[in-house]
Amino acid sequence: MSQLEKVKELMELRAKARLGGGEKRIEAQHAKGKYTARERIALLLDEGSFEEFDMFVEHRSTNFGMDKQKFLGDGVVTGCGTIEGRLVYIFAQDFTVIGGSLSETMALKICKVMDMAMKVGAPVIGINDSGGARIQEGVNALAGYAEIFQRNILASGVIPQISGIFGPCAGGAVYSPALTDFTLMTEGTSYMFLTGPKVVKTVTGEDVTQEELGGASVHTTKSGVAHFSVSNEDDGISLIRQLYSFLPQNNMEEAPRKECTDPIARMDDLLNEIIPDNPNKPYDMFEVIGAVVDNGEFLQVHANYAKNIIIGFARMNGQSVGVVANQPKYLAGVLDINASRKAARFVRFCDAFNIPLVTLVDVPGFLPGTGQEYGAVITHGAKLLYAYGEATVPKVTVTLRKSYGGSHIVMSCKQLRGDINYAWPTAEIAVMGADGAAEVLYAKDIKESANPAEELAAKKEEYNKLFCNPFNAARYGYIDDVIEPRNTRFRVIRALEQLRTKKQVNPAKKHDNLPL
Ligand code: HXC
């Protein structure tokens, strides 16, 4: 064979590999409203940047006639490329090849990109679309999953890991996305569950559809397993690109700085009037976030789960920041089990990847009741407390209104090593609100008074004056300054600038014992 013929043969093999499971299966994939693995990679990465690995890998199974069913590259497309010029490693399961089911060799391909990503310090993006363990391969497929999980674990906190679920993700396979930092699901075409509807029916008798059991809506509203749901794959892919723009390459680097076109001293008069006179009236924390961050741009994470707390990424003077804010518009911004878990994981992600935290506080306390106590709100609340307390990234806190009791401490207070803690003049930093406090402190006086209602109102007024303000905390230095609300953007940016060189190291240990 001449050299030219050999080159031609290579080209033919490449073309064959690019067809995955073949035209018919590609058509079937499209008919379901799904892209193929290669199409997804092409959309996700900068044009022409994809460097593919292991295109000629084939599975090694001979069971059940598998030796006659081989596809170049097997059921996953792997490699690296760039997003806005920055290196990422990627694997995309190819449903057109034996349902994207995971074989021993497929696992080896995925592990190879994960190992490369760890070697050079770049994120891994995994696109999942698979029927799970390749049944014909038995324990070798299981071992393959375990190899992937082990790498997910070791990579956690070293390189960002993002999972896109664009098709089925069932059985133990769900644990790889669960171990990664962010999971995104497409509505109507993706699902995640440990056991499918048939097994559920057999074991519990429950009738449930795939969508009801583990669709995007379930996991972004009820379970919190997934962080984002998108209506189609195009939106999913641009969301992954957007998310990645806020993240550093690894835990030794900082997130890329973007040029800031929004004046840093921009004042927003809205903020001087946003807090209602009635303390029980809500307002929308998104308006505050929008007024403070660069160009009002905010990428919300977990938008539909535990809406009483808001988390997400924004930029301040071009620097990537993680925003955590109570939402008075939803359950009065109370902290509960789900809100604590949601925010704690986000705080830990930001801390692991050198992303400063900006915390906006308006929290009336922890949600009372047996439901919460039996569900271990103590342990879950402790997670958020722990996350803030261990975080060594710059932490800037602004208290807008309520900051009561335990929830005051949890929301990045000064003693949990909050670096710069500001308060608006409307802040109420106290052990509890005036209503509760007056009734506890003066129950006897009120009962014995000729006019109990008047007495209660007077006592509330007295308590309010004394405690429900920012100056009491400021007097002790627990608040660094009381600031004009409309100047919040400038003050936070200046605080972050001041903290740019912050270095803080926790005591050496094997690892911590976070209250799980
Ligand atoms: C081998 C598989 C497969 C699998 C699908 N295929 N899943 N082959 N092992 N796990 C094959 C099908 O036989 C079919 O081959 C092709 O992929 C496409 O599948 P279809 O069933 O035609 O597609 P669809 O109708 O869209 O249904 C998709 C599906 C279904 C819902 C995912 O295929 C399915 O239920 N698969 C089995 C799921 C499962 O139970 N997996 C094991 C989970 S346990 P042909 O040749 O006909 O095109 C697990 C343990 C992991 O994963 C543990 C890790 C710790």
Ligand 1 geometric centre to CA of 168 (Å): 9
Q: For ligand 1, atom 35, which residue shows the shortest CA distance?
A: 131
Best probe residue, ligand 1, of 36, 71, 76, 135 (max atoms within 8 Å of C-beta): 135
| Per-residue pLDDT at 74 | 97
- Tell me, using a 6 A CB cutoff, whether residue 343 lines ligand 1: no
| Encoded tokens for 355 | 């992303």
Residue 161: phi and psi, rounded to 5, are: -125, 125
Encoded amino acid at 225, one letter: V
**Chain CA centroid to CA 462, Å:** 43
Give yes or no for residue 28 having a pLDDT over 90: yes
Atom in ligand 1 nearest the alpha carbon of residue 210 = 31
pLDDT digits (tens, 9 = 90+) for 356-371: 999 999 999 999 999 9
Beta-strand relationship, 51-53 and 357-363: unpaired
Ligand 1 geometric centre to CA of 181 (Å): 26
Beta-strand relationship, 428-430 and 124-128: unpaired
Task: Tell me the pLDDT band of 466, cut-offs 50, 70 and 90.
Answer: confident
Atom in ligand 1 nearest the alpha carbon of residue 149 = 55
- Tell me, using a 6 A CB cutoff, whether residue 178 lines ligand 1: no
Residue 142's alpha-carbon distances to 57, 220, 487, in angstroms, are 19, 28, 56
Residue 340's alpha-carbon distances to 160, 168, 388, 452, in angstroms, are 22, 29, 11, 38
pLDDT digits (tens, 9 = 90+) for 179-211: 999 999 999 999 999 999 999 999 999 999 999
Ligand 1 geometric centre to CA of 195 (Å): 13
Atom in ligand 1 nearest the alpha carbon of residue 134 = 9
Give yes or no for residue 510 having a pLDDT over 90: yes
Burial 130-151 (b: 16+ CB within 10 A, else e): bbbbbebbeebbbebbebbbeb
HEC assignment per residue over 341-403: HHHHHHHHHHHHCCCCEEEEEEECCECCCHHHHHCCHHHHHHHHHHHHHHCCCCEEEEEEEEE
Q: For ligand 1, atom 6, which residue shows the shortest CA distance?
A: 99
- Tell me, using a 6 A CB cutoff, whether residue 171 lines ligand 1: yes
Q: For ligand 1, atom 21, which residue shows the shortest CA distance?
A: 99
Nearest to 215 by CA among 185, 182, 239: 185
- Tell me, using a 6 A CB cutoff, whether residue 120 lines ligand 1: no
Give yes or no for residue 461 having a pLDDT over 90: no
Q: Average the pLDDT over 23-38 and give the result.
A: 97
Q: How far apart are CA 18 and CA 73, in angstroms?
A: 9
**Length of the chain counted residue by residue:** 516
| Per-residue pLDDT at 143 | 97
- Tell me, using a 6 A CB cutoff, whether residue 172 lines ligand 1: yes
Give yes or no for residue 309 having a pLDDT over 90: yes
| Per-residue pLDDT at 452 | 86
| Per-residue pLDDT at 114 | 98
Task: Tell me the pLDDT band of 121, cut-offs 50, 70 and 90.
Answer: very high
Nearest to 224 by CA among 305, 344, 336: 305
Q: What percent of the chain has pLDDT over 70?
A: 100
Best probe residue, ligand 1, of 32, 101, 152 (max atoms within 8 Å of C-beta): 101
| Encoded tokens for 301 | 């994470």
Sequence-distant (≥ 6) Cβ neighbours of residue 325 within 8 angstroms? 285, 288, 289, 309, 310, 311, 359, 360, 361, 362
- Tell me, using a 6 A CB cutoff, whether residue 131 lines ligand 1: yes
Task: Tell me the pLDDT band of 458, cut-offs 50, 70 and 90.
Answer: confident
Q: For ligand 1, atom 20, which residue shows the shortest CA distance?
A: 99
Give yes or no for residue 441 having a pLDDT over 90: no
Ligand 1 geometric centre to CA of 166 (Å): 15
Residue 231's alpha-carbon distances to 7, 45, 190, 238, in angstroms, are 43, 20, 11, 12
| Per-residue pLDDT at 446 | 81
Q: For ligand 1, atom 29, which residue shows the shortest CA distance?
A: 131
Q: How far apart are CA 157 and CA 120, in angstroms?
A: 15
Lowest average pLDDT, out of 12-21, 106-115, 465-474, goes to: 465-474
Task: Tell me the pLDDT band of 130, cut-offs 50, 70 and 90.
Answer: very high
- Tell me, using a 6 A CB cutoff, whether residue 145 lines ligand 1: yes
Flag whether the pTM goes above 0.85.
yes
| Per-residue pLDDT at 385 | 98
Give yes or no for residue 450 having a pLDDT over 90: no
Q: What domains are there in the chain, each with its CATH number?
A: 3-244 (3.90.226.10), 269-432+468-498 (3.90.226.10), 434-467 (no CATH)
Nearest to 357 by CA among 312, 409, 295: 312
| Per-residue pLDDT at 366 | 96
pLDDT digits (tens, 9 = 90+) for 411-435: 999 999 999 999 999 999 998 888 8
Beta-strand relationship, 357-363 and 86-93: unpaired
Ligand 1 geometric centre to CA of 99 (Å): 5
Nearest to 421 by CA among 357, 342, 351, 481: 481
Give yes or no for residue 445 having a pLDDT over 90: no
Residue 356's alpha-carbon distances to 254, 343, 382, 392, 430, in angstroms, are 10, 14, 21, 9, 26
Q: How far apart are CA 69 and CA 62, in angstroms?
A: 9
